[in-house]
Amino acid sequence: MQDTGCALLPAGVDVEITADGDDGLPLQVWLLRYRVSPELESLQRSEPVLLPGDSGWRADLEELAESIDDVDPLGLLRTQSRFQSMMVRQLDFLQLQETRSLEDMRQQVEDTIVYLHHAYRRDIRIEQLSEQTKLSRWQYNQLFKSMTGGTPLQYLTELRMDQAKRLLADPTRRLRAVAEQVGFRDEYYFSRRFKQEVGVSPSVYARMTAVPSLRVCAVHSLGDLLALGIRPVASTRTQMTWLGYMDCEPLDDPPNPDQLAALRPDLIVCPSYLPKEMHTRLSSIAPTVLLDWQDPIGDRLAKLGRLLDRSAEAKAWLGRYAQTAAHVREEVALRDRTAAAFTFHEQRLYVYGGHNFGHTLYSGLGLQPPERLHERMTSGGFPLKWRCIKTEELADYAADWMFLTVEDRDRQAAAFRAITDSRSWREQSAARRGQARIVDHRWGLYDATTLERHLEAMRTMMANTDPQTAKK
């Protein structure tokens, strides 16, 4: 057997197996199915477990293979006996691992983190890190993520990029030398990875570090920049109005390139949906970063933090948000409560998934989506951000709390009134309790500043469920 893997899988789990490598050899897989008697069901695993190489599974399978094709009674008995012996040895090995103290395992993972800080210049395989700890790859990854917030590969990449940024601050260093000093043998591959992680090329980043006070124009993500302590020199009027922030130059929306050029920016932050022609024009004025507005807020803040050397501020914001959300959950007693958020946009009704207002409800406050929404959020292979629905479908999303965002200009629109006057909305139990709220469209925004404000507003709103007060 060559370099292979062996995993114990719980019943009903879906598994995707792909070949790792380009040697052209066909992928070979053994799938062993077995039944467990009721008295032994407690030995079943609830999560997939990757067996470490030193558990002896290779030798066990080689022995089992000797009799796997036997069909005579004695051969079948021999196969059954070998399989049971193999399972006993593997479960004994796993049980021994699990009896190790969590503190001991955490210390071993911490040792690998220290190793990464010393050896990031080398060619490092994640497998060798898990082997150092004597943990399975899955266990190691899970514990590593709980300690650092990311996977080992993400941590190593971030570490290398942080080191590269420090080296790029020295204008005398050549790009090839920087790449080699942070563990990349190919400077072109390093440049691509750097731009993916930081948002600009190494050469552009080097020029940015030479500027004492960076002039940032926020065509997008004003709320995220403010949360990181960045005060842009300009932003779109729309964002400034929504956030109530007036301490910068207002820009047209969409942006006017001539107006931007007159401000002499060092960096322009734009949304990923910016038309290609406009991106080209803005890039001729200053380095222009495109942020994916559909990214989770943590990913977006992390990218801005890496770009603007505000990674500590990004992590601090995430910690502060989590702490505030926990306090609100405790004060308002939201355990086991359901909620759903909708928005009226361009004459159509949408239900939010886990983004925008949904982030506040589900990730922040820990409320549960109604069953129908939960099904949509967990199916399809990708996170549901929002979905267009019909008014009569509102009953499918009934919840303890229901919110509908709308712009002021649309409150009197016939299509909007048709929704709020419908039996589908008025006869919701949440509406009868005064817990179906129509709120300003800004509640549907998805930036760090707005999300923090959501928590404070929800603290006040949800603590007071008196129907007369709720109908304001």
pLDDT at residue 260 greater than cutoff 70: yes
Residue 265: asked if its preceding bond is cis (omega within 30°), the reply is no
pLDDT of residue 469: 38
pLDDT at residue 471 greater than cutoff 70: no
Note whether 257 and 289 are within 8 A (CB): no
Indicate yes or no: pTM above 0.75: no
Region(s) of the chain under CATH 3.40.50.1980: 214-293, 318-470
Note whether 217 and 234 are within 8 A (CB): yes
Task: Tell me the per-residue pLDDT of 57-81, one tens digit each, with 9 for 90 and over.
Answer: 777 777 777 777 777 888 788 888 8
Q: In 10 A of CB 57, how many CB atoms? A: 20
Q: Could you tell me which of 229, 378, 253 has the C-alpha nearest to residue 310?
A: 229
pLDDT at residue 255 greater than cutoff 80: yes
Task: Tell me the per-residue pLDDT of 143-163, one tens digit each, with 9 for 90 and over.
Answer: 898 898 889 999 999 999 999
pLDDT of residue 448: 95
DSSP strand E in 210-275: where?
A: 216-218, 234-236, 249-251, 267-271
Give the C-alpha separation, 323 to 150, whole Å. 19
Mean pLDDT of 291-305: 90
SS (H, E, C) 329-379: HHHHCCCCCEEEEEEEECCEEEEECCCCHHHHHHHHCCCECCHHHHHHHHC
Mean pLDDT of 113-131: 90
What confidence tier does 468 reach under pLDDT thresholds 50, 70, 90?
A: very low
Mean pLDDT of 11-29: 67
DSSP strand E in 20-165: where?
A: 49-50
Angle, alpha carbons 127-131-136 (nearest 5°): 85
218 by Cβ neighbours in 10 Å (0-12 / 13-18 / 19+) ranks as buried
CATH of the domain spanning 100-210, picked from 3.40.50.1980, 3.30.1330.10, 1.10.10.60, 3.30.70.100: 1.10.10.60
Q: Which residue has the higher pLDDT, 202 or 4?
A: 202
Average per-residue pLDDT for the chain: 86
Q: Which amino acid is located at 317 in the chain?
A: W
Lowest mean pLDDT of 93-102, 103-112, 274-283, name the range. 93-102
- Name 271's bridge partners: 291
pLDDT of residue 19: 63
Coil vs helix vs strand at 121: coil
pLDDT of residue 472: 37
pLDDT of residue 44: 73
Region(s) of the chain under CATH 1.10.10.60: 100-210
Q: How far is CA 411 from CA 142, 405, 417, 430, 441, in A?
A: 48, 10, 7, 20, 10
What confidence tier does 344 reach under pLDDT thresholds 50, 70, 90?
A: very high
Enter the CATH code of domain 318-470: 3.40.50.1980
Task: Tell me the per-residue pLDDT of 406-465, one tens digit each, with 9 for 90 and over.
Answer: 999 999 999 999 999 999 999 999 999 889 999 998 888 899 999 999 998 888 887 765
Lowest mean pLDDT of 86-95, 270-279, 309-318, name the range. 86-95
pLDDT of residue 29: 77
Mean pLDDT of 32-38: 77
CATH of the domain spanning 214-293, picked from 1.10.357.10, 1.10.10.10, 3.40.30.10, 3.40.50.1980: 3.40.50.1980
What confidence tier does 213 reach under pLDDT thresholds 50, 70, 90?
A: confident
